[in-house]
Amino acid sequence: MITIIEGVDGTGKTTYAKRLADQQKATYLHADKPTQTTWYEEYLTPLKHNNMVLDRWHVGELVWPEIYGRKSLFDQDTFDLCNWTLSKIGAKLIILTRHDDDIANELLNRGEEDQIEIVLHAKDLFMKAFHKVKYIDKQIIESGAVHVHSN
């Protein structure tokens, strides 16, 4: 199974993704700003196993270029093609979200208060991007409801 975990900073997605990978004995991959020149090389070529948890995989590529004013690897057609291809290997998408105040507090605790406004704007863009995802089973999870933080 390929499980894609997306969302903004402060939602617990990396903690959730790593825990899920451990539970499923899956390979964990974390994506960052793209380093490849095509969406295929960036988001499909690295998929070597059927059992993977992907942290920040590809939906953010609809969000962060808009935030930071850079060119995206995707237009809507190539994003759809990427999702169709991911669906053929059984990928599913989970976007973690969290109340704005909880995100802000998490970022404050990390010393990233300068990122709060950007991250909250990105959260709205992730919700819009979620609705653009076709072909893949998808869900939104409120991170406080799934106990993503360790005690």
The domain segmentation of the chain, as residue ranges, is: 2-12+23-100+109-145
Confidence of residue 148 (pLDDT cuts 50, 70, 90): very low
In the sheet with 137-142, reading across from the earlier edge strand, the strands are 27-30, 52-55, 2-6, 91-97, 137-142
Confidence of residue 119 (pLDDT cuts 50, 70, 90): very high
Check: CB of residue 98 under 8 Å from CB of residue 59: no
Check: CB of residue 141 under 8 Å from CB of residue 97: yes
**pLDDT tens digits for range 11-21:** 999 999 999 99
**pLDDT tens digits for range 29-80:** 999 889 999 999 999 999 988 899 999 999 999 999 999 999 999 999 999 9
Q: What's the CA gap between 45 and 39, in Å, rounded? A: 9
Q: What's the CA gap between 60 and 144, in Å, rounded? A: 21
pLDDT at 150 over 50: no
CATH superfamily of 2-12+23-100+109-145: P-loop containing nucleotide triphosphate hydrolases (3.40.50.300)
Tell me how far CA of residue 143 lies from CA of 43, 60, 86, 99, in angstroms: 25, 18, 24, 9
Check: CB of residue 97 under 8 Å from CB of residue 138: no
- pTM for the complete prediction? 0.90
Q: Which of 34, 48, 45 is nearest to 2 (CA)?
A: 48
Confidence of residue 96 (pLDDT cuts 50, 70, 90): very high
Confidence of residue 145 (pLDDT cuts 50, 70, 90): very low
pLDDT at 151 over 60: no
For 6, the 3-state DSSP assignment is strand
For 34, the 3-state DSSP assignment is coil
Confidence of residue 122 (pLDDT cuts 50, 70, 90): very high
Quick one: CA dihedral 87, 85, 34, 22, positive or negative? positive
